[in-house]
Every structure is written in C-alpha cells, then in structure tokens.
Amino acid sequence: MTIAPSELQTELAAIVGAEHVLVEPDVIAGFCTDWTGRFVGHSPAVVRPGSTAQVAAIVAWCRRAGVALVVQGGNTGLSGGAVPLRDEVVCSLRRLTTIGEVDRTSGQVTAGAGVTIADLQGRAASAGWAYGVDFASRDSATVGGSIATNAGGLRVLRYGDTRAQVVGIEAVLGTGDVVSHLSGLTKDNTGYHLPSLLCGSEGTLGVITAARLRLVPEESERVVALLAFDDVAAALVAVGSLRSGLPSLSAAELFFDEGVALVCRVFGLRAPFSEPHRAYVLVEATGASDPSDALSSAVDSLRGVTDAAVATDAVRAAQLWRYREAHTEAIATVGTPHKLDVTLPPGALADFVAAVPAVVEGACPGAQTWLFGHAGDGNVHVNVTGASAEDDRIDESVLRLAAGMGGSISAEHGIGVAKARWLSLCRSPAEIAAFRSIKRALDPDGVLNPSVLFPPEDEAIS
C-alpha cells in the first residue's frame, strides 16, 4: 500500500465518520488476531461502515487507491480468513445489526450482516419460528460471516448448512457495485443464483451486507441422550442407524474420552459416567410432540451402547450438550491449536479416526491430537496442540490423509488462509481456474481478502 496512513484515515473518515475509523494499535489488536491466536496480523485501520452505501463507497475508494480490505464479522472464523495478514484495512460489518420483522407466512426474515446468530435465533423464536443453523460461537458469529463461510454446525443433518437457509442476498461486489435481491421468493429461476455463489466465498467476491433467510418451524419438544461406546466403528454404525430410524433426529455429535476428560478438567464438570468410554455420541431428537419414546426405542435397537444418559428437561440437556460444545474452548486452554476441519465418506470415518494420531505423531512428535465433530455429516474436527503456529507439517499430513481417503479438507470452516496451499487436494486445475475467473470478474483489482482461498502461485502444493 503506497497511500500515507493519515490520508487513508482521512478518506475513510469522510465515508463513515471519524469515530468509525479505528487506528490505535491496542484498540485494533483484537481485530488483527484470529480466535485461535494462531493468525496474528497488522492493519493501518479498522473501518466500521453503518450502511450498504458506506460499504460500497469504501470498496470503490479502495479500488481507486489500490488499498486491500479484509472483511470481518464476529472474528470467530477458524481458518484465519478474517484477519489482516498483509497489512490490509479491516472492514468490520458489526454495525449492520438491523433485523426486520419475521414474515410469519413465508417463515423468512431479513437480517443485516452484523446480526449475531444468537440474536437471529432470538428474533425467529419471538415469532414462533427457529433458525436452522446453530453452533457454539452463536453469541459472536454474524450472519455475514456465517454466510461467507457457509457455516454448518450442529443441525446440518436436519436443516442443511447455511447455504440451504439463504434465499436472498445483498452485497457489495469487489467492483463496488451493489447487488440486492431480498424479495425472498421461494421459486425464482431468473439466472445465476448469487446467494449460492456468495455463500462460502469467504469474502473474496463481495462484502455481504444483508440476507433474506429461511426459518424453520420451532420444535418445542426436545430430548437429548449421551451414548457411550467402547468402539468407534460401533458408534458410527449407530449414528447411521439413528439417521435412518429416527426421523426426529436433529443432531448426532461425536467425541472421545480424552476430549471429555479435558472438558471436565478445564470447566470443573463431573464425568458423564462412572467409567470413561472410548467414544461418545450425543443425540438430540426434536419435534412438535415428545420424541422421548421414539428416541429410547431407537437407542434400544442399537448395538455396542455401553452406557447412556438421557435428559428430558432443559437444564440436564444443557449439561449433556456442554460435554460436546465446550471442546473448542477447552482445547484453546491447552495451547494454540492447529484446526483442521475435514469430512470423510461415512465408510472411511472410523479408519480416519484410528489413523490420525499416528500421522500427527509422525509429523510432529509429542504433539497432541483432539478429535470431535458432527458425526451425522461425516465431519471431524482434528485439533492439534503442542506444535508451533508456523509448523505446517501437521496440516500437510492430516489434510493429505483426509483427501487420500476420499474426504474434503474443509467441511465447514472454509479454506481461509490456513488451508489455501492445499486447495488442489480437493479441486482440479480446471475448477481452480474457474474460481479464479469468477474472482477476476467480481473483484477485478483483487481488493477483497487477497490472501484468502487462492494460494500464492509459488506456495501451492502440487
């Protein structure tokens, strides 16, 4: 960037007001470090637009001035894509917090990019609806960030990922043009579906400013069970049986003995059972009527369940969920983790789980592997602590293992900067060339998230 910092500040302040251009290093430090602490960048300024028009003016000015932007929502992303690793200006969307009224007929709502997932869920609930996407960072993660990463989370097997919820979008493209299609028509075959394109684009094509989102019926009855297994393969077979035999299944989460022990130690929780077990599956069933009987008869038919705890009230359900949801925070207390979020074909998941620790040990002796995930979608989070942030031998080994077993190197966190080098493990040269063509068309000067998704040519693995 050749522009002087004072000029940059003046130009941005002219668009958003001086109070919304942050430059003090201690004030902007939190915007420059990712949630894990693995990716730490530097920025001359954080600009906080309050409207779509201001976002458009920022992008247009950045194009003219040759200034790169990193787009940021709640900064809970786990692939390093929201922090300025090459001195970009941070464009924070957190001021765009308007939520419209829920359309009770269509079951849709329009929300600003800076609305948190928790606030969106609250607005939906107040109208008797629910938002189908949920995950542990709901209090900070935003609508814009969750669309940009196509977030998955806990209920994908029931409602699909974020892409399945987005029926319309408003965004400022890298050209500076505003595209806005928020009418929310369920059937609308009028050309390319820009919401699908922007969903999962990780801020590389446009800055999402608002979205029209589909809601799902609120299901008032809920039962949660924690099932213990001494064999991982048996746990995964059980998940398959539950998926086919329990229509009210809304979540099936997998975790292991070392993760539960860590969560209990860090948060002072009692162990779920008197004896530890190798694998745990947390199962949730929801419906308009009580799904308890259906869940217990489905569980009775499973093989390999060595212990079980069932919660029919909200307090006990939250206690059981905590064993799973607290994994990410508990692991962060051990050290800065390498976070590798992969999907495997269902038939390969147990072999992958068995193989990963040795692969990590081979790449970085002494490093510790933590596994947990969304078993219903074949998604395992491989977290590794005890390795330096720069050491990417672990990333290389684990991502190659997943891809070699027919999996994907990113299930739901996106490629970001963390996995850009390995994009070619899952995408062909023709696909990456098509991605680049789209990028050039919508962001011709490479203003938006220039380090995200695409590897620098000389760093890409072959």
Ligand X SMILES: Cc1cc2nc3c(=O)[nH]c(=O)nc-3n(C[C@H](O)[C@H](O)[C@H](O)COP(=O)(O)OP(=O)(O)OC[C@H]3O[C@@H](n4cnc5c(N)ncnc54)[C@H](O)[C@@H]3O)c2cc1C
Residue 46 touches ligand X, criterion: CB under 6 A: no
Instruction: Write out the E strands in 201-348.
Output: 206-214, 216-217, 221-229, 249-256, 279-287, 305-311, 338-343
- Give the CA dihedral 271, 350, 357, 200, nearest 10 degrees: -90
- Retrieve residue 1's tokens: 């960037």
By CB under 6 A, the count of residues binding ligand X is 37
Nearer to ligand X, 222 or 413 (CB): 413
Q: Which of residues 320-349 bind ligand X (CB under 6 A)?
A: 328
CA distance 158 to 288: 15
Which pair of structure tokens corresponds to residue 93? 């969307």
Cβ-Cβ contacts under 8 Å for 455 (sequence gap 6 or more): 420, 421, 423, 461
Closer by beta carbon to ligand X, 294 or else 415:
415
Position 149 contacts ligand X (CB under 6 A): yes
Q: Cα(329)–Cα(154) distance, rounded to whole angstroms?
A: 16
Minimum CB distance to ligand X smaller for 251 or for 295: 251
Which among 4-12, 66-74, 99-107, 244-252 is the span making contact with ligand X, rule CB under 6 A? 66-74
- Shorter beta-carbon distance to ligand X: residue 107 or 203: 203
Take residue 344 and report the two structure tokens written for it.
Answer: 């495997």
Specify the pairing of strand 108-112 against strand 206-214: antiparallel
Q: Which is nearer to ligand X, 94 or 222 (CB)?
A: 94
Is residue 113 a contact residue for ligand X (CB under 6 A)?
Answer: yes
Kindly indicate which of the ranges 25-33, 144-152, 240-248, 264-272 contains the residues binding ligand X, using the contact rule CB under 6 A: 144-152
Eight-class DSSP state of 33: B
CA angle 427, 33, 88 (to 5 degrees): 70
Token pair of 379 as six digits: 């998604």
Residues 6+ apart with CB under 8 A from 234: 279, 303, 304
The answer to the question of residue 208 lying near ligand X (CB under 6 A) is yes
Spatial contact of 328 and 251, defined as CB atoms under 8 Å apart = no
Around Cβ 239, how many Cβ atoms within 10 Å?
24
CB of 375 to ligand X, least distance (A): 13
Between residue 115 and residue 134, which ones bind ligand X under the rule CB under 6 A?
none
End-to-end CA distance of the chain: 31
For residue 351, the surrounding DSSP H or E stretch is helix 349-363
Q: Is 413 in the site for ligand X (CB under 6 A)?
A: yes
Choose one: 44-52, 58-66, 140-148, 277-285; the region binding ligand X (CB under 6 A). 140-148
Pairing of strands 89-92, 69-72: parallel
Is residue 174 a contact point for ligand X (CB under 6 A)? no
Task: By CB under 6 A, name the one of 44, 73, 174, 450 that touches ligand X.
Answer: 73
Which of 225, 452, 454, 455 touches ligand X (CB under 6 A)?
A: 452
Site membership for ligand X, residue 450 (CB under 6 A): no
Task: Lay out the site mask for ligand X across 253-282 (x = CB under 6 A, - = otherwise).
Answer: ------------------------------
* Residue 208 CB, nearest approach to ligand X (Å): 4
Q: Please identify which residue in 153, 174, 287, 455 interacts with ligand X, judged by CB under 6 A.
A: 153
Q: What are phi and psi of 347, to 5 degrees?
A: -70, -15
Give the CB-nearest residue to ligand X. 145
377 sits near ligand X (criterion: CB under 6 A): no
Are the CB atoms for 236 and 350 separated by under 8 Å?
yes
State how far the alpha carbon of 266 is from the alpha carbons of 57, 281, 327, 333, 345, in Å: 46, 21, 10, 8, 32
* Residue 52 lies near ligand X (rule: CB under 6 A): no
Smallest separation, CB 143 to ligand X (Å): 8
The only residue of 41, 44, 49, 74 in contact with ligand X, by rule CB under 6 A: 74
Stretch that binds ligand X, among 173-181, 217-225, 355-363, 410-418 (CB under 6 A): 410-418
| 85 vs 93, beta carbon nearer ligand X | 93
- 407 in contact with ligand X (CB under 6 A): no
φ/ψ of 214, rounded to 5, equals -80, 135
Amino acid at residue number 390: E
Residue 146 is a binding residue for ligand X (CB under 6 A): yes
Q: Considering only 39-47, 76-84, 103-111, 387-395, which stretch makes contact with ligand X by CB under 6 A?
A: 76-84
- Using CB under 6 A as the binding rule, whether residue 35 contacts ligand X is answered as yes
CA distance 131 to 35: 24
- Decide: 56 and 448 in contact? Cβ < 8 Å: no
Interface with ligand X (CB under 6 A), residue from 148, 225, 252, 260: 148
Per CB under 6 A, does 207 bind ligand X? yes
Which SS3 state, helix, strand or coil, does residue 255 take? strand
Residue ranges binding ligand X (CB under 6 A): 35, 70-78, 81-82, 93, 113, 135-137, 141-142, 144-146, 148-149, 151-153, 202-203, 207-208, 328, 412-413, 416, 449, 452
